[in-house]
Amino acid sequence: MSTLAGKKAVILGLANDRSIAWGIAQALRAAGAELAFNYLGESLERRVRPLAESLGASIIEPCDVSSDEQIASFFGKVKEKWGGIDILIHSVAFANKTDLSGRFVDTTRDGFRLALDVSAFSLVATAREAEKLMDPAKGGTVITLTYYGSEKVMPGYNVMGVAKAALEASVRYLAHDLGPKKIRVHAISAGPIKTLAAAGGISNFRDFLGQIEQRAPLHENVSPEDVGSLAAYLCQDGARHMTGNVLYVDSGFNIMGA
Protein backbone atom coordinates (compact mmCIF):
# COMPACT_ATOMS: atom_id res chain seq x y z
CA MET A 1 0.00 0.00 0.00
CA SER A 2 1.40 3.37 -1.02
CA THR A 3 0.21 5.19 2.09
CA LEU A 4 3.28 7.46 2.06
CA ALA A 5 3.32 8.16 -1.67
CA GLY A 6 4.54 11.69 -2.37
CA LYS A 7 6.03 12.07 1.13
CA LYS A 8 9.68 12.97 1.58
CA ALA A 9 11.63 11.48 4.48
CA VAL A 10 15.04 12.38 5.92
CA ILE A 11 16.65 9.42 7.66
CA LEU A 12 19.54 10.13 10.04
CA GLY A 13 21.52 7.20 11.43
CA LEU A 14 21.97 4.55 8.75
CA ALA A 15 25.26 2.73 9.34
CA ASN A 16 24.74 -0.67 7.69
CA ASP A 17 22.09 -3.26 6.85
CA ARG A 18 21.66 -4.15 10.53
CA SER A 19 20.80 -0.59 11.58
CA ILE A 20 17.34 0.18 12.91
CA ALA A 21 17.38 3.04 10.39
CA TRP A 22 17.60 0.41 7.63
CA GLY A 23 14.43 -1.35 8.84
CA ILE A 24 12.66 2.01 8.96
CA ALA A 25 13.98 3.10 5.55
CA GLN A 26 12.75 -0.11 3.92
CA ALA A 27 9.29 0.25 5.46
CA LEU A 28 8.94 3.91 4.46
CA ARG A 29 10.11 3.15 0.93
CA ALA A 30 7.71 0.20 0.64
CA ALA A 31 4.92 2.61 1.61
CA GLY A 32 5.97 4.95 -1.23
CA ALA A 33 8.10 7.61 0.50
CA GLU A 34 11.15 9.22 -1.13
CA LEU A 35 14.25 9.02 1.06
CA ALA A 36 17.28 11.16 1.95
CA PHE A 37 20.13 9.86 4.10
CA ASN A 38 23.10 11.19 6.03
CA TYR A 39 26.29 9.35 6.81
CA LEU A 40 28.96 9.90 9.44
CA GLY A 41 32.44 9.96 7.89
CA GLU A 42 33.94 8.34 4.82
CA SER A 43 34.19 4.79 6.13
CA LEU A 44 30.44 4.68 6.77
CA GLU A 45 29.74 6.40 3.46
CA ARG A 46 31.06 3.29 1.70
CA ARG A 47 28.39 1.21 3.43
CA VAL A 48 25.56 3.73 3.41
CA ARG A 49 25.71 4.88 -0.22
CA PRO A 50 24.94 1.52 -1.89
CA LEU A 51 22.15 0.77 0.60
CA ALA A 52 20.61 4.20 0.15
CA GLU A 53 20.89 3.96 -3.65
CA SER A 54 19.20 0.57 -3.60
CA LEU A 55 16.13 2.36 -2.18
CA GLY A 56 16.34 5.05 -4.87
CA ALA A 57 17.61 7.80 -2.53
CA SER A 58 18.48 11.01 -4.34
CA ILE A 59 20.13 12.74 -1.37
CA ILE A 60 23.05 11.07 0.44
CA GLU A 61 25.11 13.68 2.29
CA PRO A 62 27.45 13.85 5.28
CA CYS A 63 26.14 15.05 8.63
CA ASP A 64 27.77 14.79 12.03
CA VAL A 65 24.98 15.81 14.38
CA SER A 66 27.44 17.19 16.93
CA SER A 67 28.22 20.01 14.46
CA ASP A 68 25.76 22.89 13.92
CA GLU A 69 27.53 23.69 10.65
CA GLN A 70 27.09 20.16 9.30
CA ILE A 71 23.43 20.08 10.35
CA ALA A 72 22.83 23.42 8.57
CA SER A 73 24.69 22.27 5.47
CA PHE A 74 22.84 18.91 5.34
CA PHE A 75 19.37 20.43 5.66
CA GLY A 76 20.41 23.19 3.24
CA LYS A 77 21.11 20.54 0.61
CA VAL A 78 17.78 18.84 1.34
CA LYS A 79 16.00 22.19 0.91
CA GLU A 80 17.84 22.88 -2.35
CA LYS A 81 16.86 19.52 -3.81
CA TRP A 82 13.38 18.96 -2.40
CA GLY A 83 12.10 22.32 -1.15
CA GLY A 84 10.36 20.65 1.79
CA ILE A 85 10.06 17.42 3.79
CA ASP A 86 7.31 15.47 5.56
CA ILE A 87 9.22 13.07 7.81
CA LEU A 88 12.36 13.15 9.98
CA ILE A 89 13.73 9.89 11.37
CA HIS A 90 16.36 10.41 14.09
CA SER A 91 18.11 7.10 14.73
CA VAL A 92 21.36 8.36 16.21
CA ALA A 93 23.16 7.82 19.51
CA PHE A 94 26.70 7.71 20.83
CA ALA A 95 28.57 7.36 24.12
CA ASN A 96 32.16 6.47 24.89
CA LYS A 97 32.56 2.72 25.29
CA THR A 98 34.20 3.25 28.67
CA ASP A 99 30.95 4.84 29.87
CA LEU A 100 28.88 1.79 28.84
CA SER A 101 30.36 -0.62 31.36
CA GLY A 102 31.18 -0.54 35.05
CA ARG A 103 29.57 2.03 37.32
CA PHE A 104 27.46 4.99 36.18
CA VAL A 105 28.84 6.98 39.10
CA ASP A 106 32.23 7.02 37.35
CA THR A 107 30.95 8.82 34.23
CA THR A 108 33.19 11.79 33.36
CA ARG A 109 31.94 15.29 32.62
CA ASP A 110 33.13 15.00 29.01
CA GLY A 111 31.56 11.56 28.60
CA PHE A 112 28.25 12.80 29.98
CA ARG A 113 28.30 15.87 27.76
CA LEU A 114 29.15 13.85 24.64
CA ALA A 115 26.40 11.26 25.20
CA LEU A 116 23.74 13.87 25.90
CA ASP A 117 24.84 16.06 22.97
CA VAL A 118 24.90 13.38 20.27
CA SER A 119 22.02 11.27 21.60
CA ALA A 120 19.53 13.85 22.89
CA PHE A 121 20.33 17.44 21.89
CA SER A 122 20.73 16.34 18.27
CA LEU A 123 16.99 15.61 18.15
CA VAL A 124 16.25 19.19 19.15
CA ALA A 125 18.73 20.62 16.64
CA THR A 126 17.50 18.49 13.73
CA ALA A 127 13.78 18.85 14.58
CA ARG A 128 14.32 22.63 14.44
CA GLU A 129 15.71 22.31 10.91
CA ALA A 130 12.91 19.90 9.94
CA GLU A 131 10.29 22.37 11.19
CA LYS A 132 11.56 24.96 8.69
CA LEU A 133 11.11 22.47 5.86
CA MET A 134 7.66 21.16 6.85
CA ASP A 135 4.51 22.75 5.44
CA PRO A 136 2.21 23.80 8.34
CA ALA A 137 -0.82 23.07 6.15
CA LYS A 138 0.25 19.42 5.77
CA GLY A 139 2.23 18.94 8.99
CA GLY A 140 4.84 16.26 9.41
CA THR A 141 6.25 13.51 11.59
CA VAL A 142 9.44 13.32 13.66
CA ILE A 143 10.45 9.94 15.11
CA THR A 144 13.39 9.11 17.35
CA LEU A 145 14.61 5.84 18.87
CA THR A 146 14.86 5.15 22.56
CA TYR A 147 15.37 2.24 24.99
CA TYR A 148 13.86 1.10 28.28
CA GLY A 149 17.13 1.90 30.09
CA SER A 150 15.74 5.47 30.26
CA GLU A 151 13.14 4.36 32.81
CA LYS A 152 14.68 1.48 34.72
CA VAL A 153 18.26 0.61 35.54
CA MET A 154 19.76 -1.72 32.94
CA PRO A 155 23.27 -2.28 34.35
CA GLY A 156 25.89 -1.15 31.82
CA TYR A 157 23.51 1.11 29.87
CA ASN A 158 24.55 3.86 32.30
CA VAL A 159 24.95 7.33 30.75
CA MET A 160 22.97 6.26 27.69
CA GLY A 161 19.97 5.65 29.97
CA VAL A 162 20.26 9.22 31.19
CA ALA A 163 20.58 10.47 27.59
CA LYS A 164 17.47 8.50 26.58
CA ALA A 165 15.53 9.98 29.51
CA ALA A 166 16.48 13.44 28.21
CA LEU A 167 15.55 12.36 24.69
CA GLU A 168 12.09 11.16 25.78
CA ALA A 169 11.44 14.39 27.69
CA SER A 170 12.60 16.32 24.60
CA VAL A 171 10.00 14.43 22.54
CA ARG A 172 7.25 15.75 24.82
CA TYR A 173 8.47 19.36 24.74
CA LEU A 174 8.99 19.23 20.96
CA ALA A 175 5.50 17.76 20.51
CA HIS A 176 4.10 20.72 22.45
CA ASP A 177 6.08 23.33 20.50
CA LEU A 178 5.52 21.84 17.06
CA GLY A 179 1.91 20.68 17.51
CA PRO A 180 0.42 23.99 16.28
CA LYS A 181 2.22 23.32 12.97
CA LYS A 182 0.72 19.80 12.84
CA ILE A 183 4.16 18.31 13.36
CA ARG A 184 3.87 15.13 15.43
CA VAL A 185 6.81 13.87 17.49
CA HIS A 186 7.29 10.35 18.84
CA ALA A 187 9.90 8.04 20.30
CA ILE A 188 9.86 4.33 19.54
CA SER A 189 11.28 2.34 22.44
CA ALA A 190 12.77 -0.70 20.75
CA GLY A 191 13.82 -3.91 22.43
CA PRO A 192 17.52 -4.81 22.12
CA ILE A 193 18.67 -5.45 18.54
CA LYS A 194 22.14 -6.62 17.54
CA THR A 195 23.44 -3.56 15.69
CA LEU A 196 26.86 -1.92 15.42
CA ALA A 197 26.15 0.60 18.19
CA ALA A 198 24.48 -1.84 20.58
CA ALA A 199 26.54 -5.01 20.26
CA GLY A 200 29.79 -3.08 19.82
CA GLY A 201 29.20 -0.55 22.58
CA ILE A 202 27.15 -1.93 25.46
CA SER A 203 29.04 -4.36 27.69
CA ASN A 204 25.95 -6.24 28.96
CA PHE A 205 24.19 -6.37 25.62
CA ARG A 206 23.90 -10.17 25.49
CA ASP A 207 22.08 -10.09 28.83
CA PHE A 208 19.59 -7.58 27.44
CA LEU A 209 18.78 -9.91 24.53
CA GLY A 210 18.49 -12.91 26.86
CA GLN A 211 16.07 -11.11 29.17
CA ILE A 212 13.58 -10.56 26.34
CA GLU A 213 13.64 -14.28 25.48
CA GLN A 214 13.22 -15.28 29.11
CA ARG A 215 10.90 -12.64 30.59
CA ALA A 216 9.02 -10.69 27.90
CA PRO A 217 5.43 -11.88 27.34
CA LEU A 218 6.18 -12.71 23.70
CA HIS A 219 9.59 -14.34 24.47
CA GLU A 220 11.10 -13.22 21.15
CA ASN A 221 13.62 -10.55 20.28
CA VAL A 222 12.53 -7.80 17.92
CA SER A 223 13.98 -6.79 14.54
CA PRO A 224 14.60 -3.50 12.69
CA GLU A 225 11.67 -4.51 10.44
CA ASP A 226 9.32 -4.60 13.46
CA VAL A 227 10.38 -1.05 14.31
CA GLY A 228 10.00 -0.04 10.65
CA SER A 229 6.36 -1.20 10.57
CA LEU A 230 5.43 1.05 13.49
CA ALA A 231 7.41 3.99 12.10
CA ALA A 232 5.58 3.71 8.76
CA TYR A 233 2.26 3.65 10.58
CA LEU A 234 3.12 6.74 12.64
CA CYS A 235 4.02 8.68 9.47
CA GLN A 236 0.64 8.00 7.86
CA ASP A 237 -2.26 10.43 7.94
CA GLY A 238 -4.18 7.80 9.94
CA ALA A 239 -1.92 8.60 12.93
CA ARG A 240 -2.51 12.37 12.62
CA HIS A 241 -3.97 12.71 16.12
CA MET A 242 -1.11 10.97 17.91
CA THR A 243 1.86 12.91 19.25
CA GLY A 244 4.34 13.08 22.13
CA ASN A 245 4.32 9.34 22.79
CA VAL A 246 6.91 6.74 23.67
CA LEU A 247 5.70 3.59 21.90
CA TYR A 248 7.18 0.18 22.70
CA VAL A 249 8.28 -2.47 20.23
CA ASP A 250 9.79 -4.80 22.82
CA SER A 251 7.70 -8.00 22.91
CA GLY A 252 5.99 -6.50 25.99
CA PHE A 253 9.09 -6.46 28.21
CA ASN A 254 8.20 -3.03 29.65
CA ILE A 255 5.01 -4.27 31.35
CA MET A 256 6.83 -6.81 33.51
CA GLY A 257 7.48 -6.18 37.21
CA ALA A 258 9.39 -9.39 37.87
Residues 31-50 that bind ligand NAD (CB under 6 A): 40, 44
Crossing angle (nearest 10°) for helices 158-178 and 122-133: 30
Stretch that binds ligand NAD, among 25-33, 99-107, 190-198, 228-236 (CB under 6 A): 190-198
Residue 126's nearest CA partner among 64, 41, 46, 59 is 64
- In whole angstroms, what is the distance from residue 107 CA to residue 110 CA? 8
Round to whole Å and give the CA distance between 17 and 245.
Answer: 27
Q: Is 13 in the site for ligand NAD (CB under 6 A)?
A: yes
Q: Is 147 a catalytic residue?
A: yes
Among the listed ranges 61-69, 150-158, 170-178, 211-219, the one in contact with ligand NAD (CB under 6 A) is 61-69
Interface with ligand NAD, residue 66, by CB under 6 A: yes
Is residue 159 a contact residue for ligand NAD (CB under 6 A)?
A: no
Choice between 41 and 83, CB closer to ligand NAD: 41
**Which one among 31, 190, 216, 232 touches ligand NAD, defined by CB under 6 A?**
190
What distance in Å separates the CA atoms of residue 180 and residue 176, rounded to the nearest whole number?
Answer: 8
Alpha-helix runs per DSSP H in the chain: 20-30, 41-54, 68-82, 109-116, 122-133, 158-178, 196-201, 205-215, 224-235
Interaction mask 225-254, ligand NAD, x per CB under 6 A: ------------------------------
Partners of 62 in the beta sheet? 39
Query: Residue 137 carries which side chain, given as an amino acid letter?
Result: A
Q: Which stretch binds ligand NAD (CB under 6 A): 7-15, 96-104, 134-142, 229-237?
A: 7-15
148 labelled catalytic: no
Which one of residues 64, 131, 151, 177 is an interface residue with ligand NAD (CB under 6 A)? Answer: 64
Q: Enumerate helices (H) and strands (E) in the chain, giving the number of each.
A: 9, 7
Residues with a known catalytic role: 147, 157
Residues that bind ligand NAD (CB under 6 A): 13-15, 19-21, 40, 44, 63-66, 91-94, 118, 145-147, 190, 192-193, 195-198
